[in-house]
């Protein structure tokens, strides 16, 4: 059994801990750390949950995702995997599209998904887990900082093509703001309205909502729905012109969200 633990960090980041069962040993269970933007909350969570780190995975170079790596590598003799171009010391191992990692026996395939940043990676386990950093968010997507809208849309379509039951795990608690915006785009989407209500309830109890199935995302996330007439029409109303391609629709609603 794999257990996913979201560790809140910085302002609204999550560092994901993947707890792996270790049937062989007594004592702390092995865990993989995803995107440690700072070290202190990771150290506290490892202690609280009785975990020992075996690897670190990084999705992209932004400090809120890698800031804790140097201290963690000083404390633990574990490999850190992530994009080429990062300088994080001798324990750091750049990985690339198509690589398969197997920390603790958990097979993870590396997907290169530029858009938010040019170096952005996702990690996919075909038992239904995806770690997608700041590319696909619950109810939204990341800002396009370094890549083009075309790259970002390509990245999102690639993730959306994974099996519906895949659970995404993203880097920030943005769901509420994302779904608020999504409902502006699709006020008639009842499933979306219900998801927003449910998210409000969960957030009132400070429960993390940065994980969901791709099926739910495809039903409610406007950035995965740019091919649909309702989303196109909303984008056309926003920019007051005809939009002929899914890419134009995507770029328009991304710009619209950026203005919120
Ligand atoms: Zn980022
Ligand atoms: Fe981030």
Residue 242 CA to ligand 2 centre (angstroms): 33
pLDDT confidence bin for 24, thresholds 50/70/90: low
Q: In a 3-state reduction of DSSP, which class is residue 167?
A: strand
- Of 120, 124, 169, 172, the catalytic one is 172
116 classed as catalytic: yes
Is residue 254's pLDDT more than 90?
yes
pLDDT band at 192 (very low <50, low <70, confident <90, very high): very high
25 pLDDT exceeds 80? no
For the question of residue 134 being annotated catalytic, the response is yes
- 62, 120, 124, 169: the active-site residue: 62
User: Which of the following is catalytic: 35, 61, 116, 169?
Assistant: 116
Residue 22 has pLDDT above 90, yes or no: no
Q: Could you tell me the distance, in angstroms and rounded to a whole number, from the CA of residue 171 to the centre of ligand 2?
A: 6
Write out 49-91 in H/E/C secondary structure: HCEEEEEEECCCCCHHHHCCHHHHHHHCCCCEEECCCCCCCCC
Look up 60 and say whether it is catalytic. Answer: yes
Residue with tokens 């900082």: 145
Specify whether the CB–CB gap between 99 and 157 falls below 8 A. no
Dump pLDDT digits (tens) for 201-241: 999 999 999 999 999 999 999 999 999 999 999 999 999 99
Task: Tell how far the Cα of 114 is from the centroid of ligand 1, in angstroms.
Answer: 11
Q: Is the pLDDT of residue 147 over 90?
A: yes
Q: Is a pLDDT exceeding 70 seen at residue 117?
A: yes
Is 120 an annotated catalytic residue? no
Q: How confident is the model over 147-162, as a mean pLDDT?
A: 98
What is the distance of C-alpha 118 from the center of its chain? Answer: 15
Please confirm, yes or no, whether 22 is among the known catalytic residues: no
Residue 59 has pLDDT above 70, yes or no: yes
d(CA 134, ligand 2 centre) in Å: 6
Please tell me the predicted confidence (pLDDT) of residue 171.
Answer: 98
Nearest residue to 17 via CA among 8, 7, 25, 9 = 7
> How far apart are the CA of 211 and the centre of ligand 2, in A?
15
pTM for this model (two decimals): 0.96
């Amino acid at each position: 059994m794999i257990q996913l633990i979201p560790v809140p960090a910085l302002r609204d980041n999550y560092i994901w801990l993947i707890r792996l069962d270790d049937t062989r040993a007594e004592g702390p269970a092995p865990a993989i750390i995803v995107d440690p933007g700072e070290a202190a909350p990771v150290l506290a969570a490892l202690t609280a949950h009785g975990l020992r780190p075996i690897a670190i995975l990084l999705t992209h170079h932004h400090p809120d995702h890698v800031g804790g790596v140097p201290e963690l590598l000083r404390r633990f003799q574990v490999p850190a995997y992530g994009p080429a171009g990062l300088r994080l010391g001798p324990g750091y191992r750049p990985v690339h599209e198509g690589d398969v990692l197997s920390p603790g026996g958990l097979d993870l395939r590396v997907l290169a998904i530029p858009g938010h940043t040019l170096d952005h990676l996702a990690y996919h386990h075909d038992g239904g887990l995806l770690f997608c950093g700041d590319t696909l968010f619950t109810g939204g997507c990341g800002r396009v900082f370094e890549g083009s809208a075309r790259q970002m849309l390509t990245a999102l379509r690639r993730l959306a093509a994974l099996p519906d039951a895949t659970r995404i795990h993203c880097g920030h608690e943005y769901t509420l703001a994302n779904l608020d915006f999504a409902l502006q785009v699709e006020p008639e989407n009842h499933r979306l309205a219900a998801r927003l209500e449910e998210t409000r309830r969960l957030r009132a109890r400070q429960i993390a909502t940065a994980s969901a199935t791709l099926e739910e995302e495809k039903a409610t996330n406007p950035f995965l729905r740019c091919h649909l007439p309702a989303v196109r029409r909303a984008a056309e109303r926003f920019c007051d012109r005809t939009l002929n391609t899914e890419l134009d629709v995507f770029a328009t609603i991304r710009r619209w969200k950026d203005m919120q």
